[in-house]
Chains A and B, each alone.
Chain A
Amino acid sequence: MLLSLMIFIPLLGMVAVLLLPRESEELIKRATLLFTLIPLALAVYLFISYDRSNGGTQYVQGPVPWIDAFNIQYHIGIDGLSVTLLLLTALLGPICVIASWRNIEKGIKAYMALFLLLETGMLGFFAALDLFLFYVFFELTLLPMYFLIGVWGGPRREYAAIKFFLYTLFGSVLMLVAMIAVYLNSGDPGARTFDIPTLIALASTEGHALNNLNFQIWVFLGFFIGFAVKVPIFPFHTWLPDAHVEAPTAISVILAGILLKMGTYGLVRINMAMFPQGLDYFTNGIGFWGNSLALLGFINIVYGSFCALAQTDFKKLVAYSSIGHMGFVILGLAARNSEGITGAILQMFNHGVISAMLFLLVGVLYDRAHHREINGFGGLGSRMPVYTGITTLAFMASLGLPGLSGFVGEALSLLGAYDKFKMLTILSTIGIVVGAAYFLWTLQRVFLGTLNPKYEALPEINGREILTLVPLGILTIVLGVWPNFAIDMFRESVTNLINLL
């Protein structure tokens, strides 16, 4: 019940916001903030009260019959992985609302309503235990995102929004085919199911139609492409830089912080757990296909990093860096051992936090200077010391400085992956150096050197902006110093997952 409440409170908030008069903007913002804070409170409660020693799903609600004709059920519940990502989602919610406080000039009502809808979609996605429900929530995020980018975005927003939409839809129709295939093979007519736990059990039942290598390979591919677009994995990534660059700050934060995670979460929840044989085919290290997943991870890392290095747009740089960082997740998942998977999950969470910080920081600068050209700044370090300090923290976390959270996920992913894919992992470490290179180079061009006289009067970061950054910064440090804080949550879940493989 608690979980349902958490998922649907933003939806309720959307209705409430829609009922408020368009003119009372402050009220709308406050209401939205309230309706995002409640899920946060619930998420924190869930996070605390989640039984860490038991990796199974908890707070299960359902299965409640929903669409009988297809045995579709309303079935939600959380395991360690979900609860971590739910916390991240719920945390970024209010942060984004605060970050949007002054930046959204037109149609604040519609913006906030869409944002709340988006939050429901994201929260529901991470809690869904029914494949159909899972898909519905997955798609539910599409439309608000399209509008949030398309209406409130930058100059090329239309292009970016439709590109995002089409790419994701392309991926998700393939996923849909795979999903229907799974459903049809789950049993005789009348006994078919979408229930994820049941399907996972069936898929490992000897002799069941789902427990068939060939079938699993194809279905794995279908789901994989769907999620790969979201992650994004090369070569499905080109929507991301455009979407990020055009989206307003808060939406970039959500995009990088949560939506990308939906892809990797799906990979873990569906591709890994449900199709272990398919996964094995792509990650057993034998031949081309056996290395393909790790290869994609490697390409993502190196390719994303080099692309980031070539960027002169601050936001695009951060966007490409996201691609690079998600590569570590893929690499870690491909390793299929506890280090790799834990690293990947940790990297998911950490990237959510760090990239959120980075996008917020870019937004702060953009709000002041109204451009994001890295070479157009210079020497801001002396003008905005606090801003510089926080940016340095975020950069260092992102480039994987030990002691900050980014390192742990990266290191664990690599350690896990090295066990299986020695050469690819070694090559992937290029990403570490390049990652340092582009961040430091950016730091130099924006903050170091002599102050660009144009920006002598640039105001320092203000309290509201710091407020959005501080919780993330604290998380970055806490998780860097004490990663068990997060790992405790999903250690058992990962163990369960590995037992399935």
Chain B
Amino acid sequence: MVVSLISIILLCPLAAFAIFGLLGLANRRFPRQDYLSTIAMLVALVCSFLLLREVVPNPEPHTVNWISLGGVTFSMGFYLDSVTVIMLIVVTLVSSLVHIFSMGYMHGDPRYPRFFAYLSLFSFSMLFLVVSDNLLGIYIGWELVGLCSYLLIGFWFEKDSAANACKKAFLTTRVGDVGMFIGMMMLFTKFDTLSLYGEGGIFAQAAAQLSTADMVWLSIAGVLIFCGAIGKSAQMPLHTWLPDAMEGPTPVSALIHAATMVAAGVYLTARMFPILTETSSLVIAYVGGITALVAATIAIVRFDIKRVLAYSTISQLGYMMLAIGAGSYVAGLFHLTTHAFFKALLFLGSGSVIHAFHAMHHAHDDEHEHAHEHEHGEEHILGSEIPPDQDMRNMGGLRHKMPITFITMLIATLSISGVPFIFSGFWSKDKILAGVLGRAMEWSSVHHYILFIIALSAAGITAFYMFRLIFMTFFGEPRNQEMHDMAHESPKSMTVPLIVLAILSFPVVNTLWFNKDYVKPPPQPHLHAPQHAYLSPDSQTGGQGAALSLFGVSEAFAAEEEGGHGTHADDGHHGHGPAHTIAMVLSIIVAGLGIFFSWLFYHRRTLSAESVATTFRPIYNLFWHKYYFDEFYDGVLVALTVWKSRLFAQFDGSVVDGIVNGVGTVTRDILAAFVGIFDNRVVDGLVNRVAQVTWAVGGRVRRIQTGAIQTYLFVVLAGIVLLILIFRAL
């Protein structure tokens, strides 16, 4: 039952894609690709819900041998636990809604069928990633979603910015993926398998075999696998691709770059949870925390509505990472779910706004004569230019024009800002904060409190910039009257998904997460007792307890997770009541502050954003330039390029013209040019040199043949004498 349901879930979108692909090869089009894809997703959605009942406490993976070698077998299979099911539902649900939304949003695009085909392929890949029981399968899905992301970001590939962005996305994430692959190699070398679950799986073996001596390499392996997540979930320092990825159509941004694919990194990290060591957890927590804060600060000063959301996404993903790094497995995944819904909603809402503006923009903007009707104008890679229909400075007062969009987006904003009790975002975020604080309290050194402070500040800033977005877009007076007049509410195909997502932003529908038996964190057998004694029930009494049994740890951890929440009757919970209470109170306060300041700045206008910006110019610049990440990558590049162009003067300027940003370019220009020249000059040159010398010697030998017979005779005589002399000596 499980296998067939999962198979249906996977095959539906795959079939939708395959039909398109086959027809495409024959240069024909399937007339109703949009319906086909959407129905396929809806079927998958239904099946996902059906799977809810199939979850059992200790599931076994369902596998087949994928590659069997003499000694080793790589299997492919499904693993269905509560997390899988929830992820399946999230993916299929958001995907279905995005499909429906796109039927309105993408209407009229010449590559309309292809768009849906890509969406289908993406859905398949994402679902495959989610259900895989082994690292190889996850990696396969991982790369495939990367491909779809590439294809969809570059969907309007006539735009150079889109073409650049899609390449950047693929390459940047691939850097992370390589790290992940190396991590996989390390695990494989140790365990001879890449399966995670079941007997002989990595987790079982790790629990049974690993000792303290293995912690070093296991930490390295963990961090390396996390590298994959850094790339895919746009964590620092590989986050720069995600804002650029907003070149893709907005539904894509909602589905891939907000709700699902970028969350895959979090999902992966959560999946690897049982083998995360103390060190790797810390690395994850800090990377996540710093990303959360940095991205949030950048978001404050953006004017492009999609980029604000993009940085918000990065920030929230950092949050999730922080949660998992801090050991709050459930909180991280909970936030992943809630975030998927409200962030998808925000993106779709912004899409609705853009769509509203777009028709006008297109009608009036004659200077952009491009091959494609969806040309959004030239935006520079660094984002200095913003397409007018995405620029919040052109918006304002839209709440009357687009009431549904406004209300749904407001709900999402309240949710993300952590407005207490009635919005899902509050609960998940609160749970993270509680987890981080709890962890910080138990960590031996004080400085890990910094994680909590980071998390808290990020929460406040999030509330601030999200309300800034709402105020600038929907409140106040229209700043661009002409555009405002043209704006209109979106069609039903677009508003219905908004409404559905808005409903999903309330905690009622996320009840699964409040059932502590439904989602349990897996055990982390090799997190050594001394550091984690706080997890054990005894630890509250201050005991740095003895080593725990596997079972004990898991029980205790589960208790801590749920207990930390404190809103449910929980008999196992005595834990960090104080931590939780503090966290909740503080989170409400910072959210309130954030909203309040936002209101002051952008609605009441008692405070001027401009004057603050002027006062804190350096900081403002730092935010505005996105901490100079792109500039750093570019700057290093340019400096080296100048050096290179002097060194390899003849290597033409076309390479320089083709400069995109990113470290990839540095290597491309410098190393590749050098290697290319090396190949031509040195290796080939050496060979040619040998040939030349041979030839030259041939010429010399030839010159002895003077044509004068007496010379020849002299050679004979000399030859005889020489031979005699040589052999006389021997």
Contacts and interface: CB of A to CB of B under 8 A. Distances in A.
The answer to A–B direct touch (Cβ < 8 A) is: yes
Interface of A: 167, 234-235, 237-238, 241, 303, 306-312, 337-339, 342, 375, 379, 381-382, 385-386, 389-390, 392, 396, 401-403, 407-408, 411-412, 414-415, 418-419, 425-426, 429-430, 432-434, 436-438, 440-441, 443-445, 447-451, 460, 466, 470, 482-484, 487, 491-492, 494-495, 498
B672 A309 contact: yes
B675 A310 contact: yes
Contacts of B667: 306, 309, 434, 437
Interface string B657-679: 01000001001100111111101
Given A401-B147, A402-B144, A433-B175, A386 B24 contact: yes
Given A403-B140, A414-B185, A440 B167 contact: yes
Given A402-B139, A447-B157, A307 B174 contact: no
B69 A338 contact: yes
A425 B182 CA distance: 9
Interface stretch (B158-166, B255-263, B301-309, B534-542): B158-166
Contacts of B150: 440
A426 B185 CA distance: 9
A386 B27 CA distance: 7
Given A386-B24, A389-B24, A415-B188, A310 B69 contact: no
A338 B140 contact: no
B673 A440 contact: no
Contacts of B143: 401-403, 407
Interface centre among A390, A418, A449 (most CB of B within 10 A): A449
A267 B444 CA distance: 57
A379 B154 CA distance: 12
B618 to A, nearest CB: 35
Interface string B169-213: 011001101100110111011000000000000000000000000
Given A238-B679, A375-B658, 18 more contacts: A303-B675, A306-B672, A307-B676, A309-B667, A309-B676, A310-B677, A381-B157, A390-B25, A429-B181, A433-B171, A433-B664, A441-B167, A448-B158, A449-B158, A449-B163, A450-B371, A484-B67, A491-B69
A234 B684 CA distance: 11
B186 A338 contact: no
5 contacts: A234-B683, A307-B675, A309-B676, A311-B676, A448-B166
A450 B370 contact: yes
A-B pairs with lowest CB-CB distance, top 4: A310-B676, A402-B140, A309-B672, A448-B163
B72 interface: yes
Contacts of A408: 67
Contacts of B674: 306
A446 B65 CA distance: 40
B171 A436 contact: yes
A306 B71 CA distance: 35
Nearest to A375: B654
Nearest to A493: B70
Interface centre among B21, B174, B188, B677 (most CB of A within 10 A): B174
Contacts of A460: 27
Nearest to B188: A415
A104 to B, nearest CB: 26
A448 B157 contact: yes
A445 B658 CA distance: 9
Nearest to B648: A310
B687 interface: yes
Contacts of B370: 450
A414 B181 contact: yes
A441 B170 CA distance: 11
Contact of B371 (A385, A412, A429, A451): A451
B30 interface: no
A432 to B, nearest CB: 5
A399 to B, nearest CB: 9
Interface string B669-706: 00111111101000110110000000000000000000
B68 interface: yes
Contacts of B167: 440-441, 443-444
Contacts of A303: 675, 679
A234 B675 CA distance: 12
Given A375-B654, A433-B664, A494 B70 contact: yes
A306 B675 contact: yes
Nearest to B169: A440
Interface string B131-158: 0000010011111100100110010011
B66 interface: yes
B66 A338 contact: no
Contacts of B159: 449
Nearest to A306: B675
A306 B160 contact: no
B397 to A, nearest CB: 36
A450 to B, nearest CB: 5
Contacts of B687: 167, 238
Contacts of A338: 69-72
Nearest to B673: A310
Given A338-B72, A451-B158, A426 B182 contact: yes
Contacts of A443: 167
Contacts of A448: 154, 157-158, 160, 162-163, 166
Nearest to B686: A235
Contacts of B675: 303, 306-307, 309-310
Contacts of B160: 448-450
A411 B72 CA distance: 14
B676 A483 contact: no
Contacts of A426: 182, 185
Contacts of A337: 71
A403 B184 CA distance: 17
A320 to B, nearest CB: 8
Nearest to B184: A415
